[in-house]
Amino acid sequence: MMKNIDSISHVTGKSVYLDDIPVQKGTLYGAVFTSPVAHGKITYIDYTKAEELPGIERIFSYRDIPGRNQIGGIIEDETLFAESEVHYQGQPVLFVVAISENIARKALKLIDIRVEEYEAITDPREAKEKGLLLIPPRTFKIGNIADTWSRCEYIFEGKVDSGGQEHLYIETQGSYAYPVDNGSLRVHSSTQGATLVQKMIARVLNVPMHRIEIDVARLGGGFGGKEDQATPFACMVSLASYILQKPVKMALSRHDDMRMTGKRHPYSSDFKIGLSKDLKILAYKTTMYQNGGAASDLSPAIMERTLFHSTNAYFIPNTEVTVYSCKTNLPPNTAFRGFGAPQGMFVIESAIAKAACQLNISPRLIQEKNFLAEKDEFQYGQIAENVNIGKCYTLARESFDMVSLENEIQEFNTKNNYFKKGISIMPLCFGISFTKTPMNQARALVHIYQDGSIGVSTGAIEMGQAVNTKMIQVAAHVFSVDAEKIKIESTNTSRVANTSPTAASSGADLNGNALRIACTSLLGRLKETASKMLNCIPSEIEIIDDEVYKNKQKVGIRWEKLVETAFLDRVCLTENGHYATPVIHFDKTREKGHPFAYHVYGTAIISVTLDCIRGTYQVDDVKIVHDFGNSMNTIIDHGQVEGAVVQGIGWVTMEELAYDTSGKLLSNSLSAYKVPDIYSAPKNIEIKALETEGPELALLKSKAVGEPPFNYGIGAFFALQKAIKAFNPKYKIDFDAPLTPEKVLMRLYQK
């Protein structure tokens, strides 16, 4: 199995990130001056003193923008620099450019600003009450809940809260821009969305997109945090570079990155669930309040994915799910692995946990009664095909001996007074494709050089998920040549244009299929050359392991010779491949369609041990059956599952964002914001693949893997909840994630 091509250069420090690009002579450095209050009107601003500081080149405000002061992608509601009003603490107001980063940061302290403060709102329900919505609410429904409640044997209601989450990519946001020929700019950006950055810079500068070249070597992590939010920083350095005609660079400090950028959306929700006597879920209604922050950013799309995944892996014949996207005075919240799906799944799993607790049964009994089956209709109209949830669950139940695990835990709990264990099952169904159909397209540009080596450019951005390794595998597979022959170039908008962000777990699917198409077409040309050389027809030719075969016989012509001959014969050795996912469509006016190419399924069993004196806990075991399809790289795919699970566990257990009443982020450093480390990661993660052929629409039948397994982590919440309940039967179960040790302790001794 091919290893991640970056692994050696990562551990030896040779991989190039934004900050490793050698800077040009005369490069200037930028720092951002931001709003000190969460909501208000700027009544006075004076930066003459800052400008006089030796080494300061210039300070930019919205007045210096030659084009539009607007960087909103889906909704145009976000300025690059505040004009008169400010809407969150950390909102960019000015961009200071100096001969060094130190001087630029020093100048920030000399800026005098006065803001007339308005009321700041941080709670989404309060925002909704006041009519502060980013976009109108949306509702997905199927069947008729109103007529169903009366038929339900049991009805339960509750409230569910889930918190935000800091991306904590190791490389902070940053960008480097410099003028090139013809009034153009070349911009290096740590972004998942090169074309979005290009488009917004062009908008801000009022130049055509062809003047702006974006180049991305790789990111030190993105996790969604750089799908939209790399853009403002790239726009700022570009503005300064364009006006000054000098190279300008900036990278946020960790602290600035944490306080200025958006995070996973916190949600607050109400649910009502109705079950029959035999535990079939007949009706489910939920109203969710998404904390969008001060501008839309990707919130409308995230809201949509919450709606799509609000019933997780279950078929519920009558549902009504509504999401309000609420405008608050926090930094605009944004994409984060799972993209709204985890928030939706947490609510349905909470509803099931509540029902099970009230009925005094294991939630598993409700879960297994309600799994999606073949040809069931999703709320959004897509008919479920190749449904693997039942298979994953059954395999997990059998191969991990789920029932004995439950019994062992029960036995442990009867024998131990101050340590309690809990176990939970987390099923998964996650749709693959951007929910906005037009985004599901990609291109790849392939050059075969005269010496037989191959250069590949695609729109995919490497951020640690090893998409570049998968791209090499695709080219090596189609040509049947040694992977050493293939080089993946940086992601560059001049080589591959109009890219979708590398997101929605579909980076490999979309770009890999474009690459497969380009390589297949080049292979056809090379076979034609070979057939001429060997006096036969192209269909008699094969290339296997760098050698030409005719009718399954080796003919003594190596790949290099074939390429050289084709070149001398003036055959075009360059090809552009284009891929657009077939089949998918969605009609927003009816909220029905077939938005996903396929779904990813799985089942996780999570168990925890709780120290009932201290409230501290350990996740012991995560046992997973995951539906990889026909995994093209099991090492990489397992790594993706492990990383995602740990990140998911972090979200529901230890990662707690705290703001004060003025909207200031208190958990703005790693001493105050706890992320999973090697000590808090589960002691054991066991991953078993569900063996299937894999769907045609996945890259080489290998399913997308980036985001779906994040959701397994949610199970840690319910496992902990059960451990608390085992210690304190009086604990009235509630749903307020993250379940930090402090919150656990309070619940252990609740009366």
The catalytic residue positions are 707
The yes or no reply on residue 73 touching ligand MTE (CB under 6 A) is no
Place of tokens 């992601």: 491
From 88-96, 314-322, 432-440, 506-514, give the range in contact with ligand MTE by CB under 6 A.
506-514
Size of the site for ligand MOS (CB under 6 A): 11
CB nearer to ligand MOS: pick between 225 and 577: 225
* 3-class SS of residue 108: helix
Q: Which of 301, 641, 699, 726 binds ligand LUZ (CB under 6 A)?
A: 301
Beta strands of 39-164 (E only): which ranges?
A: 40-46, 56-60, 85-86, 92-98, 112-117, 133-142, 154-162
3-state DSSP assignment of residue 187? strand
CB contact at 8 A, 735 and 158: yes
User: In this chain, which stretch among 270-278, 297-305, 395-403, 586-594 interacts with ligand LUZ, using CB under 6 A?
Assistant: 297-305
Least separation, in Å, of the C-beta of 284 and ligand MOS? 25
Determine, following the binding rule CB under 6 A, whether residue 652 of this chain makes contact with ligand LUZ. no
* 230 binds ligand MTE per the rule CB under 6 A: no
According to CB under 6 A, which one of 97, 294, 335, 645 is a site residue for ligand LUZ?
335
Of 216, 326, 402, 503, which one interacts with ligand MOS (CB under 6 A)?
A: 503
Cβ atoms within 10 Å, residue 627? 28
CB of 593 to ligand MTE, least distance (A): 22
Torsion of CA 454, 457, 461, 466, to 10 degrees: -20
Place of tokens 């503005």: 239
Total residues binding ligand LUZ (CB under 6 A): 11
- Contact by Cβ (8 Å): 202, 184: no
- State how far the Cα of 281 lies from the Cα of 274, in Å rounded to an integer: 6
Residue 66 DSSP label:
S
Residues in CB range of 609: below 8 A, 6 or more apart: 419, 420, 421, 617, 618, 620, 723
The nearer residue to ligand MTE, 439 or 541, going by C-beta atoms, is: 439
Interface with ligand MOS, residue 367, by CB under 6 A: no
3-class secondary structure, 323: strand
**Least spacing, CB of residue 509 vs ligand MOS, in Å:** 12
467 binds ligand LUZ (CB under 6 A): no
The residue within the footprint of ligand LUZ, chosen from 435, 491, 493, 607 (CB under 6 A), is: 435
Rounded Cα distance, 530 and 151, in Å:
71
Q: Does 392 bind ligand MOS (CB under 6 A)?
A: no
> Is residue 507 near ligand MTE by the rule CB under 6 A?
yes
Pick one of 28, 212, 503, 632: the residue that binds ligand MTE (CB under 6 A). Answer: 503
Q: Identify the three-state secondary structure at position 134.
A: strand
Q: Least Å distance between CB 305 and ligand LUZ?
A: 5
Cβ atoms 365, 280 nearer than 8 A: no
Name which position in 169, 324, 336, 419 contacts ligand MOS (CB under 6 A): 336
The two tokens of residue 606 are 């999570």
Tell me how far CA of residue 323 lies from CA of 146, 278, 329, in angstroms. 19, 30, 19
Site for ligand MTE in 691-720 (CB under 6 A): 704, 706-707
The one among 142, 335, 428, 548 contacting ligand MOS by CB under 6 A: 335
192 binds ligand MOS (CB under 6 A): yes
On the 0-12 / 13-18 / 19+ scale of CB atoms within 10 A, 411 is: exposed
- Could you give the angle at which helices 402-415 and 389-399 cross, rounded to 10 degrees? 50
Tokens of 133: 């919505």
305 binds, among ligand MOS, ligand LUZ, ligand MTE, none (CB under 5 to 8 A by kind): ligand LUZ
Binds 465: which of ligand LUZ, ligand MTE, ligand MOS, none (CB < 5-8 Å by kind): ligand MTE
Contact 446, 518 (CB under 8 A): yes
CB of 304 to ligand LUZ, least distance (A): 7
Strand arrangement of the beta sheet that strand 541-544 belongs to: 541-544, 547-550, 553-558
Which residues have C-beta within 8 Å of that of residue 731, sequence separation ≥ 6?
724, 725, 747, 748, 750
Q: How far is CA 702 from CA 334, 427, 662, 676, in A?
A: 28, 20, 48, 29
Q: Which tokens go with 347?
A: 């609510």
Name which of ligand MTE, ligand LUZ, ligand MOS, none residue 463 binds, using a CB cut-off of 5 to 8 Å depending on partner kind. ligand MTE
- State the minimum distance, in angstroms, from the CB of residue 460 to ligand MTE: 6
Tell me if 265 contacts ligand MOS by CB under 6 A. no
Q: Tell which positions 325-354 bind ligand MTE, by CB under 6 A.
A: 337
Binding part of the chain for ligand MOS, among 112-120, 220-228, 269-277, 377-385 by CB under 6 A, reads 220-228
How far apart CA 597 and CA 425 sit, in angstroms, is 26
Contact partner, 507, from ligand MOS, ligand LUZ, ligand MTE, none, Cβ < 5-8 Å per class: ligand MTE
CB of 745 to ligand LUZ, least distance (A): 35
Handedness of CA 724, 725, 730, 734 (dihedral sign): positive
* Smallest separation, CB 695 to ligand LUZ (Å): 18
508's contact among ligand LUZ, ligand MTE, ligand MOS, none, with CB below 5 to 8 A by partner kind, is: ligand MTE
Residues 101, 106, 111: CA angle, nearest 5 degrees:
125
Out of ligand MTE, ligand LUZ, ligand MOS, none, which partner does residue 301 contact, by CB within 5 to 8 A per kind?
ligand LUZ
**In this complex, which beta carbon is closest to ligand MTE, that of residue 506 or of residue 721?**
506
Footprint (CB under 6 A) of ligand MOS, residues 339-358: 339
Q: Does 505 bind ligand MTE (CB under 6 A)?
A: yes
User: Where do contacts with ligand MOS occur on this chain (CB under 6 A)?
Assistant: 192, 222, 224, 227, 335-337, 339, 503-504, 707
User: Where do contacts with ligand LUZ occur on this chain (CB under 6 A)?
Assistant: 227, 298, 301, 305, 335, 339, 434-436, 503-504
User: Where do contacts with ligand MTE occur on this chain (CB under 6 A)?
Assistant: 221-224, 337, 463-465, 467, 502-508, 640, 643, 704, 706-707
